[in-house]
Amino acid sequence: MNNELNDIDHWNYFLKNLYQSQWQKNLPHPILDNLFQTYSLRQKKFFSVKNENNILTGISSTTIEKKIFRAITFFGFDQAKISKSHSITLIELNNDFLKNFNVKKWHVQTEEHDHQTQNTLIEMGFKKIRKYSSLLHISNKYQIPKIPNNIQVDSLQIGNEKKFANILNKSFKNEWGFCPNTVKEVIHSLYSPNDNLKDVIVLKQNNKLISFNWTKILKANIGKISMLGVHPQYQNLGIGKMTTLAGIDHLKKNNVKAITLEVDQRNIHAMKLYTNLGFEKYLSTIWFEKSL
């Protein structure tokens, strides 16, 4: 009934069917998109379950973040075919796997209205801890960034990967769920097939990186702000808004029609900034946590 999933083509075929049946918007989906990311420098484990007719009904991807003693699991369930017992089996497979590691916190992300999965997680000892919003900007009207003369806007240059990793880690040091990145991990992400250095917009002062907007240009003229950070010394100075606008300006100049991003709803300052800039919510997700 269950096994580790080794057939990447079968995995992708199942995910594409989930996109078509359960997510018909041509926009990024934080859970399904993460399930598509099958390669990482951090340790990953994949499981699947099949029903009595040997039809794949559920998959999972778990990443171990050893530095912060955390594991993250994303589940993909065919809600029309999977039974509750098979959902539990898939969760238990991951739970047994995590016993091999010094993991203290286990996090799972679900869609806000996926009550079936949420109820199962709660029954198995998980608690709701965070709510995230996926936001969308589709207007052709946007503010042109006003950049002071002593600040320069540029794309990330080859050779600055170490500096970029440094500001990324410092910017997110105190953010919930952030796991510090090694330079090797950052380089791996920067040079992945879906990324391009020219889409990583950085602000510099006296040749020092002070902020960044890691944008991506996806299919169908859709852009994404995947990460945005400001060096702690430059926070609360309006640099965040400036950096956001610089990224939007870059994407719009590259014929992007829609821009998406994901934000923690507890980050009131960021939510207010993005709303004021014309972003609107198109999806909400809930993070669950279990102490191991």
Measuring CA to CA, which residue among 30, 10, 28 is closest to residue 108? 30
* Within this chain, domains 2-133 and 139-256 share the same CATH topology: yes
Predicted pLDDT of residue 26: 82
Sheet holding 70-77, edge to edge: 2-3, 44-50, 56-65, 70-77, 105-111, 280-291, 127-137, 258-264, 222-230, 208-217, 200-205, 152-155
Handedness of CA 203, 165, 69, 64 (dihedral sign): positive
pLDDT for res 49? 92
pLDDT for 1 equals 44
Question: Which pLDDT value is given to residue 4?
Answer: 54
CATH class of residue range 139-256:
alpha beta
Q: Which segments in the chain show pLDDT lower than 50?
A: 1-2
Q: Which CATH class is domain 2-133?
A: alpha beta
For residue 146, count other CB atoms closer than 10 A to its CB: 9
Domain ranges of the chain: 2-133, 139-256
Euclidean distance between CA atoms 38 and 252, whole angstroms: 30
Among candidates 250, 193, 254, which has minimal Cα distance to 221?
Answer: 254
pTM, entire model: 0.93
